[in-house]
Structure formats: C-alpha cells, structure tokens
A and B are shown apart, each in its own frame.
Chain A
C-alpha cells in the first residue's frame, strides 16, 4: 500500500548513543517532515524538507540532524541521545503546488517509539 514507512517501530537507547530513524514515502510528495509527540504537547515539528535537497529547522531542532537523501527518503539522526529525547517520532509527507495550494493532505507514518535510558 502507498504511504509513509518508518523504521524502526521501537528502539531503546542508552544516553550518549546515536541512531538514525528512517522514513520513506512512495507517493512522490515533495515535502517531508519529522515530528515528535510528547504527552500533553501535541505534535511538534523537528525538521522539514520542502523539496529534495533542502532542509529547515522546525520548532524543536536541538539535538537532531536530518538528511533528505532523495525525494523518497528523509532520515532523522540523534548524534548523542538524551533522556529528554524519549518520545514518539512521526514522519509525514505532503504535496503543495507552486502557488502554495495544498494538493494532498498529510500522510503520516506509524511512528517510532524511542526510549532513552
């Protein structure tokens, strides 16, 4: 089925370890996003990529890096994990026309539950 695929679904890290969360979409969308969800906080944007080759910081970028590897893939890297990064991470994609009209809504992956101990 078409959609957004995130891996892994669950991960436990020790403080200071690094890891990369993978995200791939097969809908040919230009824009991709990484959000984190914490209890009572809704979803907050970490980084986004409006198109292949571009990335920008969102609301909570500290401690993260991203790579837009190609149009399909957008990865999120934690270089030195901290307990404050314990969260559920969602990747999403969307498509917007040049005149900024939203063509397609947002498709979300199933999430990655990360625990940093």
Chain B
C-alpha cells in the first residue's frame, strides 16, 4: 500500500523555537518523489520542496531543512528559529511511478507559532 503518515496533528511552539514535522511514507516502488507543501490560513498550497528517491542528500533553505532517510522511510521537515509567519498546515506528499502521476497526501500537521 502507498501511504503517507503525519502522526503529529497539531504542534504549538513559541517564536524562535525549533520545530520538526514528521513524515513517514510507504511505497513498494524504487522510484518515487516526496514533497512538502505549506497551506497558510489564506488557503493556497505553497510548494516547499521536492525530493526524488535517488537523492538522499539533506537540504537546507534558509530556516528550513529536510532530512530524508530511506532506511526509516522518513522525510522530516525542520524549521529553525520559528516565526509567527510559519503558522500554517504543512502537508507531506508522495508520488510514485504506479500512481499515474497523482500525489498521495498525509493528513497534515497544523503548526501554530505564538509570539
């Protein structure tokens, strides 16, 4: 079965704290893609990152970093020194070769960053 699990439904932190959002995926395919999207209160989906299954290199973009570990089927997202503007729902998603191209989403993690 192809599946994405975001076990954390809601997380609340105080500004400047670091926070990690967990994502665990399941797929039998050897070629697949993993994504993170941000959905702010305004409702649009904002693309954050895409990673293919052959590239396990971790990535850093400003305060955002991603840790991809095939051994544990995880693709975790860390926000360093969180800010109020980071408050949003974050979705992890999986695309695999057999899916005809569609994305399988986790249920999302709602992050609240308080001043």
Contacts and interface: CB of A to CB of B under 8 A. Distances in A.
Interface of A: 31, 33, 35, 40-45, 48, 50, 56, 58, 88, 90, 92, 94, 96, 100-102, 105-108, 110-111, 113
Contacts of A88: 43
26 contacts: A33-B103, A35-B105, A41-B107, A42-B91, A43-B91, A43-B93, A44-B105, A45-B102, A48-B100, A48-B101, A48-B102, A50-B101, A56-B100, A58-B102, A90-B45, A92-B103, A102-B33, A105-B50, A106-B47, A106-B95, A107-B47, A108-B45, A110-B44, A111-B43, A111-B44, A113-B43
Interface residues of B, number: 23
A94 B101 contact: yes
A92 B93 CA distance: 14
- Most chain A CB inside 10 Å of its own CB: which residue of B52, B95, B106: B95
A102 B43 contact: no
Interface string B50-74: 1010000000000000000000000
Nearest to B98: A100
